[in-house]
């Protein structure tokens, strides 16, 4: 644990955290031989000893030729990373336990192509491989799946390459200012709230007006003919009238205080579920949290505002 702490502090000194953009410099890039590179070094050493033992000029030429190619490969491998620019991009918020991604912009300001750039995030199994042509850029997507609600900060990631010959591996640890908000996981636990409430606190609807069908009732003198259920009358000979209602409310209000639970995350998950369902059904809805009142509305902006209020609840903003 102490060794890890020292390594983390050393990396932080070489590469400060919470940057919006960074350029890979010589101080940030590390390089070592790969397994193939070590094997080639052993073979070259054996060839050199044989050339010295037999004083064979052709063996000397071949040994130094292969050695020179290997040294050039080391330079080119380091050059694959040197000068690359990494930038953060706007991130998309998501729900807890939902699979998503963080996006990073990789720029190549040089006139040479960069090949086989490997980026590994929090999970080494989620390695992404990219090529970046000269004076161009690519958008990198690293998968994530946050487990908890709140602010999600992406940890260090590694950019590496073994191009062009696979004899050396160059890499750099980076940590950009990549963060997003994680909404509560929508979970239906409590009964759905009423459509709306009037001033007395009861559900209030206006019968015989509006466009929401409410049912059938017996015909009364004075009812307009267009409200008569003629199809029903043809089948049963009963003269019934269609009733419609119009809620006398500005919309649903999902209230923290209406949930009988002491589990904060459970209440937030339930509120989140109601908001998702209301938006899906194109209903007007508002949100009431301790210290936060969001008026009724709908649409993408209002929807994200309500979800963000749930994600940020209890966290310093």
Question: Do 55 and 143 contact (CB within 8 A), yes or no?
Answer: no
pLDDT of res. 250? 58
- Dist. CA 149–CA 95, nearest whole Å: 8
The Cα-based distances of 32 to 224, 242, 313 in angstroms read 88, 81, 47
pLDDT of res. 203: 38
pLDDT computed for residue 143 by the predictor = 92
Per-residue pLDDT of the chain (317 residues; tens, 9 = 90+): 566 666 666 666 666 666 889 999 998 999 999 999 999 999 999 999 999 999 999 999 999 999 999 999 999 999 999 999 999 999 999 999 999 999 999 999 999 999 999 999 877 677 889 999 999 999 999 999 999 999 999 988 999 999 999 999 999 999 899 999 999 999 988 877 655 444 444 433 344 445 666 677 777 676 777 777 777 667 777 777 777 655 545 578 999 998 888 899 999 999 999 999 999 988 999 999 999 999 999 899 999 999 999 999 998 66
Answer for the pair 253, 222: CB distance below 8 angstroms, yes or no.
Answer: no
pLDDT value at residue 140: 94
Position 232 scores a pLDDT of 67
* CA–CA distances in Å: residue 282 to residues 37, 118, 149, 179: 62, 44, 25, 30
DSSP state of 198: -
Which pLDDT score, from 0 to 100, does residue 213 have? Answer: 63
Q: Is 45 helix (H, G, I), strand (E, B) or coil?
A: helix
């Amino acid at each position: 644990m102490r060794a890890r702490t020292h390594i983390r502090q050393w990396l932080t000194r070489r590469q400060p955290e919470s940057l919006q953009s960074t350029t890979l410099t010589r101080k940030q890039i590390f390089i070592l031989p790969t397994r193939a590179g070590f094997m080639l070094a052993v073979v070259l050493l054996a060839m050199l000893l044989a050339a010295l033992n037999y004083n064979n000029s052709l063996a000397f030429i071949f040994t130094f030729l292969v050695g020179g190619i290997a040294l050039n490969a080391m330079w080119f491998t380091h050059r694959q990373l040197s000068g690359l620019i990494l930038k953060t991009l706007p991130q998309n918020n998501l729900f807890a336990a939902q699979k998503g991604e963080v996006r990073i912009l990789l720029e190549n300001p040089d006139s040479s192509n960069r090949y086989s750039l490997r980026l590994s995030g929090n999970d080494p199994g989620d390695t992404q491989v990219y090529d970046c042509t000269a004076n161009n850029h690519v958008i990198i997507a690293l998968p994530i799946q946050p487990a908890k609600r709140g602010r999600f900060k992406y940890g260090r990631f590694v950019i590496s390459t073994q191009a062009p010959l696979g004899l050396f591996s160059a890499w750099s640890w980076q940590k950009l200012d990549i963060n997003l908000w994680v909404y509560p996981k929508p979970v239906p636990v409590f009964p759905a709230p009423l459509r709306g409430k009037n001033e007395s606190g009861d559900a209030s609807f206006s019968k015989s007006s509006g466009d929401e069908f409410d049912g059938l009732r017996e015909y009364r003198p004075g009812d307009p003919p267009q409200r008569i259920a003629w199809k029903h009358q043809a089948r049963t000979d009963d003269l019934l009238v269609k009733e419609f209602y119009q809620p006398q409310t500005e919309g649903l209000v999902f209230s923290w205080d209406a949930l009988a639970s002491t589990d904060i995350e459970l209440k937030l998950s339930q509120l989140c579920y109601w908001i998702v369902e209301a938006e899906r059904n194109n209903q007007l809805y508002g949100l009431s949290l301790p210290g936060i009142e969001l008026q009724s509305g709908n649409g993408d902006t209002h929807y994200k505002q309500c979800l963000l209020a749930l994600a940020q609840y209890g966290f310093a903003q």
